Chain A
Amino acid sequence: MKIKILFFMFLISALILGACAPVEVEEPVVEEPVVEEPVVEEPVVEEPEVEEPEVEEPEVEEPVVEDPIADVVELRFMYYADGVEAEVMQPLLDAFMAQNEDIVVLLDVVPYSTVDEQLPVQVEAGQGPDLARITNFAAFRGLLLDLRALVSNPDYYQANFPAPVLNALGYGGFPDAYTVTGPFVNQTLFEQAGIDLPGDDATWEDWTDLTQAVAEATGTAYAIGIDRTGHRVAGPAMSMGATLIDANDDFTIDTEGFRAFVDLMKSWHDEGLMPEELWLTGDALNNCIDWFKTADMVMCMTGSWMIGGTAADVGDAFDWLVVPNPTGAGGSTGIAGGSAVVAFADTEHPEAVARLMEFLYAPENYAAFSAGTLALPAQVEVAQTGVDFDSDNPSVLAALSAFTAEVPKLQEQAVFLNVHPFAFAYYRNSASRIAQYLAGELTLDEMITNLQSDIDTAIAEAGD
């Protein structure tokens, strides 16, 4: 019996030791790449010779030769998309990885709300990705990787992007698209209603009356709508005379223009011209383009980044166009904006990240992204050369021209808003407070007082 017990104890001991065994087995596996590293590096160095004729961009390849990275590194790229951006980005990343076999880039496509709500916390906690596509330029102040010391040609980088944007980003990335807000109009519905489109000097009140008439004549559910965000509200408010950002760069909500436009929105809401769900349901960004695409809305105030998605979804179901921003006491202005690709300071692979950044903002790659996504370029060289957009759809080309024509009309504050260090304090708080006003929870005065208080508190806390 004792022998049996000893035997089984031996058996159990063997099992316990066996459980530990994989650690020993794994060690050579870990070591292998170290031994093979020079072998991996060789093709990387050789590649430029093979691919030179295809890429035609010496700046991309230089860092590979000059500053080879010892290990195969993995970069995580958090990415949101309004339309086809991820589909256009992935082939570019594939091309980059083919040229840089020592770098693997994983594109994590997430909803916009993840970038808006979760990414700042992840980054601050040191758990963020290496790169991300963002819209809130000021949200990551002090947390981005200064690319100037890492890219092979910092002068080119600084000279080819708008200085205010690079400053707002702390030189931690580059804008991948330049956007302008403006209204989309269903041209077919106007034609069916027998109503002519108004001229460039039409006001928001004119458009309200006309779209209402079109909706009534054609049996369309809604006349007009505007995305649920303070960003989209800012343009019409400035056009109606609002000085949202004063001479001291402070936010001032209580202006005639802001009151006038929010009041106009309230009338859209109360008279059923705008879907109530657009502003009253959810707590985040809602887009009016969803109603526009199904021809349930005559006019939708959104922005240039919606061109690609609208063209793809509407197809030839109806004709649509982008019209100039309606005029008012403050002129006619949309809001400049855009998205940016940024690198985080916490990355363990700054050289690899810088290499990827250089690849993405190289003119031919940047142009390919603009062309594929139908986005206005923010890269100076690409803008000067022009982009051969991947579309022969006349609505798309006309929309791109219409938005380009909006750029010179932008007010100074409309350009500054998106790079204002505290723009974040205005955007979301304004959407929530305006929604409360539309729901009848607050009066206009209360809404303005509360919104100003929200912004002041947020700025005071951010300065702590």
Chain B
Amino acid sequence: MAELSKTKKYESFFGSIGHAIVSGFDVFFGSIQKITGIKGIPYLFVLPNLLIFGIFILYPMILNFVYAFTGGRSFFPDQRTFVGTSNFERLFTCENFLLPNTCREDLFWRAVHNTVVFVIAQVILMILFSLITALILNRDIKWRGFFRSVYFYPCLLSPIVVGLIWQWILMDSGALNGILTGLGIGKQPFLVRANWARFWVIMVSVWAQMGFYTLILLAGLQSIPADLYEAASIDGANKWKAFSNITMPLLMPTMVVVIVLTLIRAVQVFEIIYAFTGGGPGTATLYLVQFIYNYGFASPNRQFGVAAAASLVMASVLIVLTLAQLAARREESY
């Protein structure tokens, strides 16, 4: 009885504190609301986020437009001269877009070609490996939790760390060549032959990001009701029929989201490749973001205008992909 009364006392005490705090807020925001009015108060709540968005996203976006339509080497927009669309013309001056060397900015078109190939190959492999892994991890296998962690672990690593680790593994005197030499196979030119380098760049990026998409697909698989499979089994459906007629159709909304996310991230690829191959050999693994970085920042003759124009081109592609994702989600909700 004494305990109960003690507990009530505590409840009453802490309840009073809570009430006081809430009342304090009420007084504070009440007085502000008197100034802003009831319709104005929500804007006050979103103001901090709006400020962050404005300073770190909107303002740089506007600056990017300014740079894209101005020329010169100056960093300051007011010291740059308006050049109209000449930065875009420079990018798109080309005799044959399939032959980068006939283009005025041949490196841009090499980056575009490389990016297209990378995006197609990486997205297909990413979806394939993520789906297979998710299907396996969705089964009642031994140490399932352990394997789920193992596949997700690379996602926690910094892209630069991933790039450097794989560079050390695949370089001429790296771990893999050491093993191959030990086996009598001999060294392989993993990072100095264009096709080898392209292959490894795709495989490493798939390895690094696969866990994230596996997790999304796994969530999609787990949301499929188990009784559907039971019913199909009773009706005599084999595993392939269950997969093709139940799993895939019900997983498709999740799959569309994964495809669009993978596409966007593939177009944006930079850090891993920069640390891993630096865009080489030659320009075999030079992708769009690295082209922009090189032209805007890494090159001693910084060309902010061309870099900004190229980033607007890339942004257009990303906007299309994002709209596709929104459309897919809308379809999913219907």
Contacts and interface: CB of A to CB of B under 8 A. Distances in A.
A283 B282 CA distance: 9
Interface string B3-40: 00000000000001101110110010000000000000
A4 B20 contact: yes
A5 B20 contact: yes
Given A117-B297, A280-B282, A428-B300, A9 B24 contact: yes
A282 B72 CA distance: 28
B322 interface: no
A430 to B, nearest CB: 12
B192 A458 contact: no
Contacts of B20: 4-5, 7-9, 11-12
Interface in B259-286: 274, 277-284
Given A8-B24, A11-B20, A461-B71, A435 B282 contact: yes
Interface string A264-300: 0000000000011100111110000000000000000
B280 A283 contact: yes
A281 B191 contact: yes
Nearest to B81: A464
Contacts of A4: 16, 20
B16 A284 contact: no
A68 to B, nearest CB: 35
Contact of A12 (B24, B74, B192, B300): B24
Contacts, number: 118
A1 B13 CA distance: 11
Nearest to B107: A432
Contacts of B171: 277, 281
A439 B280 contact: yes
B73 interface: yes
Given A435-B282, A461-B71, A8 B297 contact: no
A125 interface: yes
Interface in B191-244: 191-192, 194
Given A120-B300, A277-B192, A464-B72, A442 B101 contact: yes
A124 B74 contact: yes
A416 B154 CA distance: 50
A240 interface: no
A438 B192 CA distance: 10
Interface string A319-357: 000000000000000000000000000000000000000
Contacts of B277: 281-282
Contacts of A118: 297
Contact of B21 (A12, A117, A125, A428): A12
A440 B282 CA distance: 8
Interface residues of B, number: 43
A439 B110 CA distance: 14
Contacts of B172: 275-277
A464 B73 contact: yes
A5 B19 contact: yes
Interface string A1-39: 100110111011000000000000000000000000000
B75 interface: yes
Interface string B170-200: 0110000000000000000101101000000
Interface string A452-464: 0000011001101
A255 interface: no
B280 A428 contact: no
B282 A458 contact: no
A94 interface: no
A149 to B, nearest CB: 25
Nearest to B194: A439
Interface of A: 1, 4-5, 7-9, 11-12, 116-118, 120-121, 124-125, 136, 139, 275-277, 280-284, 424-425, 427-429, 435-436, 438-442, 446, 450, 457-458, 461-462, 464
Given A120-B300, A436-B282, A439-B194, 16 more contacts: A8-B19, A8-B24, A9-B23, A11-B20, A277-B171, A283-B294, A435-B280, A435-B281, A435-B282, A439-B280, A439-B281, A441-B194, A441-B282, A441-B283, A446-B101, A450-B106
8 contacts: A121-B75, A121-B302, A281-B280, A282-B278, A282-B280, A435-B281, A461-B73, A464-B71
